[in-house]
């Protein structure tokens, strides 16, 4: 069965639920089309069935102040109101009927408990009174927790959307290409099939990058409308992963500095390495993300809602986070730089460990100890920061260089001290001889003139010079030390 039929069936169930209960949510992993179905297959029929309704689409996290501020902004409200919740309620009374479309509904439950209670009470009130209908989408790992909170108010209103099969993804590709270039299906069937097959293959490789398909096919439409009907030239210039990577780079540029600073540490948890030091996407437990602290968790949530990451799992106990497309490692430029630095660091560690094992297996001979300048700097850093976590053999190997370095420093210092002292003795000897000659000359001159006063001064000059020389030596030695 095609993906369009599958999506339509899901949309029909969703519509039945919202018409019956006035409230219905769709849950599922990121990137399975929940938001697309809501906006393309659920809201249009609701608009037709309730033409008097005003549709208000928003995410609870659109505004940092939370649900009511995000809703108020989506309704076109101003920023300066005394009570946002009161302002929202007042605005709703002026409207005959509203349909709230809430993407990322689980964001509600990231707020304080008091706020959550008020939000649920508000939704129950507007739905019960018949003034509004509510549809929404949320991530499946959080659906059980959400269902527990709202089941007493809105029982049985969560529908589950599973991952799309390869056949369904192919159908999505067919519908996408047909939408953007409908003329191809009849006039250039071979080209239509080429584009469809390419898009389908990329979706199968990165199914959770489905939200980027629309932007990707827009590049195809621009290419085609520009008069270039060559599939090869288009396919060689862009792909789904590049569109996702470009979006990721633009998103990072808008992040708050405190979130951007955590991107490198987050990358280390999202990447796995094989023996050839090739990076792969890792499915990181969400609990591991939470253990890294609230700022990293906030960063992950932002990247999830930007479709750069996706979260999957039946509940929080087994939820995992991963990059939405495996090839985004090669197309997200700032991530590439981080991965390259990580690869270089791992390569250095491997080389040091290999040399340490060779040194140990050969009886720890001194001739097996050799490191170039770059590796020596890495070794010093590892010993300084990670000595306790290094393998024992590697730690012993690196410590020999550390001890050698200290010995070399001491030897160099001793050699320098010896050379300075030798030079100092030469200076002292020079000045001693010169001073002695000057004193003797003074003495002889006084004797020749018969001047007792000058004779006495000459004797004093020669007798006090050894003391002055000794003082100079002490000064030089203290400088050398």
pLDDT tens-digit series, residues 405-452: 444 444 445 555 556 556 555 555 555 555 555 554 554 554 445 545
Q: Which residue has the higher pLDDT, 480 or 402?
A: 402
| pLDDT of res. 439 | 52
Four-residue CA torsion sign, 449, 454, 459, 464: negative
Percent of the chain whose pLDDT exceeds 90: 35
What does 68-87 look like in DSSP terms, one character per residue?
Answer: HHHHHHHTT--S--S-HHHH
Q: How far is CA 284 from CA 253, 289, 310, in A?
A: 24, 7, 11
Exposed/middle/buried for residue 69 (C-beta within 10 Å: 0-12, 13-18, 19+): buried
27: β partners:
138, 160
| pLDDT of res. 28 | 83
What does 426-481 look like in DSSP terms, one character per residue?
Answer: HHHHHHHHHHHHHHHHHHHHHHHHT-HHHHHHHHHHHHHHHHHHHHHHHHHHHHH-
Q: What is the average per-residue pLDDT within 302-313? A: 87
Please state which of the ranges 83-87, 133-137, 148-152, 252-256 shows the lowest mean pLDDT.
148-152
Kindly report the pTM of this predicted structure. 0.68
Q: How far is CA 411 from CA 404, 418, 478, in A?
A: 10, 11, 19
Q: How far is CA 454 from CA 441, 446, 460, 468, in A?
A: 11, 5, 10, 21
Q: What is the average per-residue pLDDT within 371-379? A: 79
CA angle 117, 27, 280 (to 5 degrees): 120
Give the C-alpha separation, 218 to 341, whole Å: 34
Radius of gyration for the chain, computed over Cα atoms and rounded to the nearest angstrom: 39
Residue 3 has pLDDT above 60, yes or no: no
CA 204 from chain centre, in angstroms, equals 25
**Is residue 43 a contact partner of residue 101, using CB atoms and an 8 Å limit?**
yes
pLDDT tens-digit series, residues 234-269: 999 999 999 999 999 999 999 999 999 999 999 999
Strands 271-273 and 279-281: antiparallel
**Looking up tokens 């992993």, which residue turns up?**
29
| pLDDT of res. 183 | 87
CA 327 from chain centre, in angstroms, equals 16
Phi, psi of 87 (to 5 degrees): -65, -40
Which ranges in 181-212 belong to alpha helices (H)? 184-187, 189-205
Q: Which residue has the higher pLDDT, 459 or 126?
A: 126
**Is residue 153 a contact partner of residue 124, using CB atoms and an 8 Å limit?**
yes
| pLDDT of res. 241 | 95
Q: What is the average per-residue pLDDT within 222-227? A: 91
Chain mean pLDDT for the chain: 81
**Is residue 192 a contact partner of residue 222, using CB atoms and an 8 Å limit?**
no
pLDDT tens-digit series, residues 113-140: 888 899 999 999 999 988 899 999 987 7
| pLDDT of res. 2 | 43
Residues in the chain: 481
Token pair listed for 136 = 């929404």
Q: Which residue has the higher pLDDT, 255 or 314?
A: 255
Give the C-alpha separation, 367 to 190, whole Å: 67
Q: Which residue has the higher pLDDT, 464 or 103?
A: 103
Largest separation between any pair of C-alpha atoms in the chain: 135
Give the C-alpha separation, 236 to 414, whole Å: 65
Q: What is the average per-residue pLDDT within 469-473? A: 50
- CB atoms < 10 A from the CB of 30, how many? 23
Q: How many helices and strands, by DSSP H and E, does the chain display?
A: 21, 10
Q: Which residue has the higher pLDDT, 61 or 220?
A: 220
Token pair listed for 147 = 């269902």
**Is residue 360 a contact partner of residue 394, using CB atoms and an 8 Å limit?**
no
pLDDT tens-digit series, residues 345-356: 888 888 888 888
Give the C-alpha separation, 36 to 414, whole Å: 76
Phi, psi of 159 (to 5 degrees): -105, 145
Give the C-alpha separation, 422 to 414, whole Å: 12
- CB atoms < 10 A from the CB of 180, how many? 19
Please state which of the ranges 229-243, 259-273, 356-370 shows the lowest mean pLDDT.
356-370
**Is residue 160 a contact partner of residue 140, using CB atoms and an 8 Å limit?**
yes
């Amino acid at each position: 069965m095609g993906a369009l039929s599958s999506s339509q069936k899901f949309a029909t169930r969703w519509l039945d639920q919202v018409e019956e209960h006035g409230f219905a949510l769709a849950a599922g992993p990121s990137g399975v089309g929940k938001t697309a179905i809501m906006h393309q297959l659920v809201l249009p029929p609701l608009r037709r069935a309730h033409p008097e309704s005003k549709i208000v689409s928003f995410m609870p996290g659109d505004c940092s102040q939370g649900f009511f501020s995000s809703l108020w902004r989506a309704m076109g409200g101003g920023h300066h109101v005394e009570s946002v919740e009161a302002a929202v309620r007042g605005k709703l009374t002026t409207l005959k009927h509203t349909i709230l479309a809430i993407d990322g509904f689980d964001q509600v439950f990231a707020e304080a408990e008091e706020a959550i209670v008020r939000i649920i009470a508000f939704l129950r009130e507007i739905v019960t009174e018949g003034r509004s209908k509510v549809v929404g989408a949320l991530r499946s790992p959080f659906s059980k927790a959400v269902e527990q909170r709202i089941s007493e108010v809105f029982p049985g209103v969560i529908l589950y959307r599973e991952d799309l099969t390869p056949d369904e993804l192919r159908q999505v590709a067919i519908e996408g290409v047909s939408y953007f270039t409908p003329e191809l299906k009849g006039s250039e069937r071979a080209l239509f099939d080429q584009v469809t097959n390419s898009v389908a293959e990329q979706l199968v490789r990165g199914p959770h990058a489905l939200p980027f398909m629309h932007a990707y096919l827009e590049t195809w439409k621009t290419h085609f409308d520009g008069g270039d009907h060559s599939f090869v030239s288009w396919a060689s210039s862009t792909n789904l992963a590049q569109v996702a990577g470009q979006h990721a780079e633009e998103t990072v540029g808008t992040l708050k500095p405190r979130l951007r600073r955590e991107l490198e540490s987050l990358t280390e948890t999202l990447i796995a390495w094989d023996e050839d030091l090739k990076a792969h996407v890792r499915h990181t437990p969400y609990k591991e993300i939470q253990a890294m602290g609230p700022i990293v968790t906030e960063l992950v949530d932002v990247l999830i809602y930007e479709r750069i990451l996706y979260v999957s799992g039946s509940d929080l106990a087994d939820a995992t986070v991963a990059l939405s497309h495996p090839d985004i490692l090669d197309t997200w430029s700032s991530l590439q730089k981080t991965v390259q630095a990580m690869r270089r660091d791992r390569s250095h560690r491997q080389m040091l460990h290999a040399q340490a094992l060779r040194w140990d297996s050969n009886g720890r001979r001194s001739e097996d100890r050799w490191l170039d300048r770059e590796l020596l700097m890495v070794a010093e850093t590892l010993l300084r920061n990670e000595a306790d976590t290094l393998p024992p053999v590697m730690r012993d190997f690196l410590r020999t260089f550390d001890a050698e370095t200290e010995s070399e420093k001491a030897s160099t210092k001793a050699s320098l001290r010896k050379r300075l002292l030798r030079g100092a003795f030469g200076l002292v000897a020079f000045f001693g001889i010169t001073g002695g000659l000057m004193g003797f000359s003074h003495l002889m001159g006084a004797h020749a003139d018969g001047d007792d006063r000058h004779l006495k001064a000459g004797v004093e000059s020669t007798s006090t010079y050894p003391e002055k020389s000794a003082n100079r030596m002490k000064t030089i030695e203290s400088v050398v030390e």
